[in-house]
Amino acid sequence: MKTYRHQLFTSVIEEKIIKNILKAGDKLPSVRTIRRDYGLSVSTIQKGYDYLSFKGFVKSIPRKGYIVSDELQQDKKAEDKSIVPFSVDSDFRHKVSITSSRKQKFLGGNLNAAIPGDYIMPQKLVLKIMQQIIREKGAALLRYYPSNGSVELRELLSKRIARHGAFVPSEEILITDGALQSLYISLAVITKPNDIVAVESPCVFSILEVLSNLGLRTVDIPVRHTIGFDTDYLESVCKSSPIKAIVVTPNFHNPTGISMPEAKKKELYAIACQYDIPIIENDIYGDLYFGAIRPSTIRNYDDRGLVLTYSSFSKTVAPGLRLGWLSPGRYFSAAERLKFSLGRSVSAINQEMVIKLLSSVAYDRHLRFFRRYLQLQAAEITEQIRTFFPEKTLMSTPDGGFSLWNQLPQGTDMVQFFKSCNDFGVSFTPGKTFSLTNAFDFHFRATFFENITINTLHFIREIGLSIR
């Protein structure tokens, strides 16, 4: 992604706020000081401060200048640290139906889709490679593959993971039927029923379902606008409750699209080490970055096998491939046995398919196009919601991934909102599907995985205007 001149000073301020060197209410350097220190123009400095205000880091005080915002601290006071027992499963089917994008055709726009739309999926490429594989491998594809997965595939993944700085030897990787299976295996080998697991709030429904099926209790850790998973909050929870695992998506969390800054990833790892709590790290969106550099993982810092990292090709290629992986750290032996008992080995043709993708430039070329496409669509939806929704609507600002998290002002007529969505044929995901306690009543997730047309933008505008 393009870098802006104002980042010369905004990145310094951001980092100081994240590390708590600058605290709520602290005065920030004046335009004149920044101009002198960095040689930037007044308009660039102004753009920088606008950007920091938009991200919730700073606020402007008339005649005084800029100070560090207290937004983060206020959010923290508002939460309580309740532990939620097993999920009530009565609305499981309802949630499955509202989170499964293909069940219904939305004529206005499918902004509910959590998987790449048909238009963006590399269909031709996948089918061409599959035909090639069938010709080349023939009957070999009909046998069992090694239960941990093809050696070649694990080696390719290991090399790929090394590109963003994490060391994961191929022998420590298990090929799985997708990210959700990796999560299931990770939780099942670490926990027993009734254990308490720290999870993100909001949290995607599929993760909550796995936790619920394993009979686990959860404690919600807020995902903050600027820093993602709130490590201070987690630390205070760890002091008072016996947390057995931490489930986190540090890069482009679903539904908020927010990522943890590097310093926060390190902090999270330090807390996990201090309390000896395994981190189950979901990196399913890590390749969907809009910036210039692929973000790192918490695994990058792990030297004691405490981080179990997993991912899949469901969000970057196609969910129907059912191809994921897990690097279970110190839990490898137990995870390997459980993986075996869950289904012997993963489909051979799909493994060969991904081998071909990763051993040529095809996957990276596809990703370059894909990221650009997602970034453009994110900008279009953001602009439309910002312009036409009620003034106090809060939105996340994703730097990658596929979703925007929106909060309508308290008191918004949500019945009218969803009626309008229905009338215009636009599907958003209701906020309440992202928690076990039906929180987030005024939130909704808008995804940009499907092709957004002029009509969709027009309908978003009409929906916004209908609740103003």
Ligand X SMILES: Cc1ncc(COP(=O)(O)O)c(C=O)c1O
**List of residues contacting ligand X (CB under 6 A):** 114, 178-180, 204, 206-207, 249, 254, 282, 284, 312, 314, 319, 324
- Rounded to a whole number of angstroms, the minimum distance from the CB of residue 280 to ligand X is 11
The 3-state DSSP class for residue 163 equals coil
In the complex, which residue's CB is closest to ligand X? 178
User: What tokens does 353 get?
Assistant: 């398919």
- Rounded to a whole number of angstroms, the minimum distance from the CB of residue 319 to ligand X is 5
- Comparing CB distances to ligand X, the nearer of 169 and 320 is 320
Torsion of CA 18, 21, 25, 27, to 10 degrees: -110
- Comparing CB distances to ligand X, the nearer of 56 and 319 is 319
The angle that helices 42-54 and 7-18 make with each other, rounded to 10 degrees, is: 30
Q: What CA–CA distance (Å, rounded) separates 163 from 357?
A: 16
- Comparing CB distances to ligand X, the nearer of 300 and 429 is 429
Q: Which sign does the torsion angle of CA 170, 176, 180, 186 carry?
A: negative
Q: Which phi and psi angles does 66 have, rounded to 5°?
A: -105, 140
- Comparing CB distances to ligand X, the nearer of 179 and 198 is 179
- Rounded to a whole number of angstroms, the minimum distance from the CB of residue 163 to ligand X is 21
Q: What CA–CA distance (Å, rounded) separates 227 from 263?
A: 9
- Comparing CB distances to ligand X, the nearer of 204 and 227 is 204
The 3-state DSSP class for residue 172 equals helix
- Comparing CB distances to ligand X, the nearer of 6 and 253 is 253
Judge contact between 374 and 403, C-beta under 8 A. Answer: no
- Rounded to a whole number of angstroms, the minimum distance from the CB of residue 45 to ligand X is 38
- Rounded to a whole number of angstroms, the minimum distance from the CB of residue 307 to ligand X is 16
- Rounded to a whole number of angstroms, the minimum distance from the CB of residue 203 to ligand X is 8
- Comparing CB distances to ligand X, the nearer of 14 and 450 is 450
- Rounded to a whole number of angstroms, the minimum distance from the CB of residue 278 to ligand X is 17
User: What tokens does 159 get?
Assistant: 């090399």
User: What tokens does 161 get?
Assistant: 């993971």
- Rounded to a whole number of angstroms, the minimum distance from the CB of residue 398 to ligand X is 14
The 3-state DSSP class for residue 79 equals coil
Nearest partner of 147 among 339, 367, 316, 331, judged by Cα: 339
> Which run of H or E residues covers position 454?
helix 454-466
- Rounded to a whole number of angstroms, the minimum distance from the CB of residue 24 to ligand X is 31
- Comparing CB distances to ligand X, the nearer of 185 and 460 is 185
Q: What CA–CA distance (Å, rounded) separates 167 from 292?
A: 21
- Comparing CB distances to ligand X, the nearer of 10 and 312 is 312
- Rounded to a whole number of angstroms, the minimum distance from the CB of residue 213 to ligand X is 14
Q: What CA–CA distance (Å, rounded) separates 83 from 61?
A: 39
- Comparing CB distances to ligand X, the nearer of 286 and 329 is 286
User: What tokens does 306 get?
Assistant: 């405490």
- Comparing CB distances to ligand X, the nearer of 97 and 236 is 97
Q: Strands of 443-447's sheet, edge to edge?
A: 394-395, 403-407, 443-447, 429-430
Judge contact between 51 and 6, C-beta under 8 A. Answer: yes
Q: What is the DSSP letter of 145?
A: P
Alpha-carbon Rg of the chain, whole angstroms?
23
- Rounded to a whole number of angstroms, the minimum distance from the CB of residue 76 to ligand X is 24
User: What tokens does 138 get?
Assistant: 């023939």
The 3-state DSSP class for residue 297 equals coil
Q: What CA–CA distance (Å, rounded) separates 377 from 383?
A: 10
